[in-house]
Structure 1
C-alpha cells in the first residue's frame, strides 16, 4: 500500500469517513522532523501487518492548509487516526517506535 496524498477538504472528509482505520500524516516540506519521519511513515504503509484494514494518507500543510485547520493541527509532524469520521488517536512529533505503536494499536480494532 502507498500513502495517499489528500489535497483538499473534500478528499480528507471522504477518506476519514471510511469504516476502517485511516492514519493521516500532517506535515510540511520545510519542517525538519517531517523530512525525518516521512520516509518511516511510507515504510510502515508497506508493511504486511497493516495491509488489511488500514489506509495511509498524508496532508502537506503548504498544499492543503484548510485541511490542517479543519483537523485542528498545531505543530508538525502530527499523525491522527480516524475511523468513521471520528478521531480516535493522535501523536505529535513521534519517533519511529511511537508511530508504529499508534498505528498498531489502532489497527488491532480492525483485525
Structure 2
C-alpha cells in the first residue's frame, strides 16, 4: 500500500473523512531515528494485510507541515498516531520494529472489523 504524504491541513482532513482507520507517521528528514524508521514504515506498508477501502497509512514532515504537527501535539519523532472514524485513538513514540509492526497490524485488523459494520446514515 502506498503511504500518502500529508502536505496540508486539508490533506489531513480528507484522509480522516475517507477512511475508517488512518495511521499517520510524524517525522523529519534530518532526524536519525526517522531515517531508520521511515523505510521500515514504507516496507511494512507493503507487507501488512489491509483493505484499502477502510485503512490508510500516511506521513507528514513536521517541518513542512509544522502547524499540523503542533495541532497533533507531537512529543518527538518518529511518532505514529492512529485515528478511528476521524478520532484520535492511540499513538506510539519511537517504537522498535516489532512494536511498530504490531501497532500497524492491530489497526489494520480494526479497520477490517469496522468495514463489516453497516454504514451509519
TM over 0.5: yes
Q: Please give the secondary structure, in 1, of the residue aligned with 2:111.
A: coil
Q: Given the superposition, is the C-alpha separation of residues 19 and 3 from structure 1 closer, same or farther in structure 2, using an over 3 Å criterion?
A: closer
- Once superposed, which parts of structure 1, at least 4 consecutive aligned residues long, lie more than 4 Å away? none
Deviation of 1:17 (Å): 2.7
1:34-49 equivalences in 2 (<5 Å): 34-49=34-49
Aligned residues: 111
Deviation of 1:59 (Å): 0.4
Contact 2:28 2:61 in 1 (8 A): yes
| Aligned twin of 1:87 | 88
- Give the structure-2-normalised TM-score: 0.84
CA–CA distance in structure 2, aligned partners of residues 46 and 98 of structure 1: 17
| Aligned twin of 2:118 | none
- Give the structure-1-normalised TM-score: 0.92
Contact 1:89 1:102 in 2 (8 A): no
Contact 2:51 2:111 in 1 (8 A): no
1:30-69 equivalences in 2 (<5 Å): 30-52=30-52, 53-69=54-70
C-alpha RMSD of the superposition: 1.4
Are positions 1:18 and 2:9 aligned together?
no
* 93-102 or 16-25, which deviates more: 16-25
String of CA shifts for 1:29-79, please: whole Å, max 9, x gaps: 111000000001001111251354321100001110111111111211000
* Gap runs ≥5 in structure 2: 113-121
